[in-house]
Amino acid sequence: MSEPLLAFLYFFILLTAFVAVFLDDLLSSFISLSVTGVLMATVFALLRAPDVALTQAIINSGLITSLLLVAYSHTRRTPLPSGPCTACPSWLRWPLAALICFLLAVLLFRGMYSLAGERALETASTHFLAETLRETGALNVVAAILLDYRAFDTLGETTVIFAAVAGISLLLSGGKHVRSRQGLSFIVKRGMALLTPFLLLYAASILFLGHLTPGGGFQGGSVFATVAILICVVYGTGFDASRVSSKSKETLEVGGALLFVFIGLLGAAWGGGFLANLKGPFFPGTPGSLFSGGNMLFLNLAVGLKVGAGLSSIFYVMIKILEQEGEQ
């Protein structure tokens, strides 16, 4: 493991973070934030965490930045009142905050330093690494943990996404969507026409091979959402709305969640308890083949549906508001 490369990456992460914080121009601080995300993804990859790197690259540096830009372009920013902030003068606030953060950093570092002893695998992890193939038939241990050993938490997680989507569409409800919106130029449209199938293929591969190679429901779903956003941007919301209406997005989302619960119930039906793998219709199959991880494939599909539809409907709701702004 190359030590200097990691040090270099850490330095750049901190550099871009500082830039993102102290730059006055918001747009460029957003971009440097996404650069931090990308660098973080490379660090994760170097630290032997491919799944997390993939997710980080897609969600934190991809989706979040696009949502950030949409939110930024929507809010009408009247210039900040330059007067001294009334709560407490800035000359007092900056040093005080700096002191607090420095103390916090010292404390955190001291705490972590005492932790940094010799690292050995705990019992749980050794069990996971040794038994996953036999117990779940999946090759990707992380996906096995997520979808088999701790499937219930993943269900909880999908409900969190559901809650976020519901919250956002509640907050930003109202405002109708303008149909006739031309997208970008002809060249970009044709280019996208060429690229979209490959993107979709890539998303499907992440989704369905989640239990074999790094990937899974969340990453696949997010890539689908990104593809939806790209189409929305390139071809304009008119084209996109006629293709996949918001109603169908909702049904997809709810369908994903229900599929997840249904698979869980299937496990319970065969006496294995809610979300039990390798029970009834689900069999371990030959490791490495597509239908090998018991119900993990279908769970991935359910989560993918949910996350894809959810995130794209978030983007869709935000976009919709924007269009309404554009009209006045």
The footprint of another protein on this chain (CB under 8 A) covers a number of residues equal to 122
The answer to whether residue 193 forms part of the interface with another protein (CB under 8 A) is no
Given the complex with another protein, which of 119 and 247 has the nearer CB atom? 119
Secondary structure letter of residue 79 according to DSSP: P
On whether the CB atoms of residues 240 and 282 are closer than 8 A, the answer is no
Measuring CA to CA, which residue among 167, 158, 156, 316 is closest to residue 229? 316
* Residue matched to tokens 């700096």: 98
Measuring CA to CA, which residue among 232, 260, 258, 231 is closest to residue 146? 260
**CA 121 to chain centroid:** 28
CB of 60 to another protein, least distance (A): 6
Among 31, 35, 141, 302, binds another protein (CB under 8 A): 141
Question: In the window 232-291, what residues touch another protein (CB under 8 A)?
Answer: 233, 287
Among 182, 245, 248, 289, binds another protein (CB under 8 A): 182
**CA 227 to chain centroid:** 14
Measuring CA to CA, which residue among 240, 256, 232 is closest to residue 310? 256
The answer to whether residue 55 forms part of the interface with another protein (CB under 8 A) is yes
On whether the CB atoms of residues 209 and 297 are closer than 8 A, the answer is no
Among 28, 89, 107, 289, binds another protein (CB under 8 A): 107
The answer to whether residue 172 forms part of the interface with another protein (CB under 8 A) is yes
Among 28, 89, 129, 273, binds another protein (CB under 8 A): 129
Given the complex with another protein, which of 276 and 319 has the nearer CB atom? 319
Given the complex with another protein, which of 37 and 264 has the nearer CB atom? 37
Given the complex with another protein, which of 46 and 269 has the nearer CB atom? 46
The answer to whether residue 145 forms part of the interface with another protein (CB under 8 A) is yes
On whether the CB atoms of residues 215 and 206 are closer than 8 A, the answer is yes
The answer to whether residue 72 forms part of the interface with another protein (CB under 8 A) is yes
**For the stretch 135-173, what's the b/e string if a residue is b when 16 or more beta carbons lie within 10 angstroms of its beta carbon?**
bbbbbbbbbbbbbbbebeebbebbeebbeebeebbeebe
The answer to whether residue 163 forms part of the interface with another protein (CB under 8 A) is yes
The answer to whether residue 188 forms part of the interface with another protein (CB under 8 A) is yes
Question: In the window 1-30, what residues touch another protein (CB under 8 A)?
Answer: 1, 3, 6-7, 10, 13-14, 17-18, 20-21, 26, 29-30
Instruction: Compute the half-sphere exposure of residue 121: CA atoms within 13 Å on the CB side of its CA.
Output: 8
Given the complex with another protein, which of 99 and 281 has the nearer CB atom? 99
On whether the CB atoms of residues 42 and 9 are closer than 8 A, the answer is yes
Cα(202)–Cα(222) distance, integer angstroms: 12
- By CB under 8 A, which span of 62-70, 248-256, 257-265, 271-279 interacts with another protein? 62-70
- By CB under 8 A, which span of 72-80, 250-258, 259-267, 278-286 interacts with another protein? 72-80
Question: In the window 28-47, what residues touch another protein (CB under 8 A)?
Answer: 29-30, 33, 36-37, 40, 43-44, 47
**Residue 306 is encoded by which pair of tokens?**
């949910």
Q: Which amino acid is at 39?
A: L
The answer to whether residue 157 forms part of the interface with another protein (CB under 8 A) is yes
Q: Which amino acid is at 68?
A: L
The answer to whether residue 111 forms part of the interface with another protein (CB under 8 A) is yes
Mask for 211-230, x = binds another protein (CB under 8 A): --xx-x-x------------
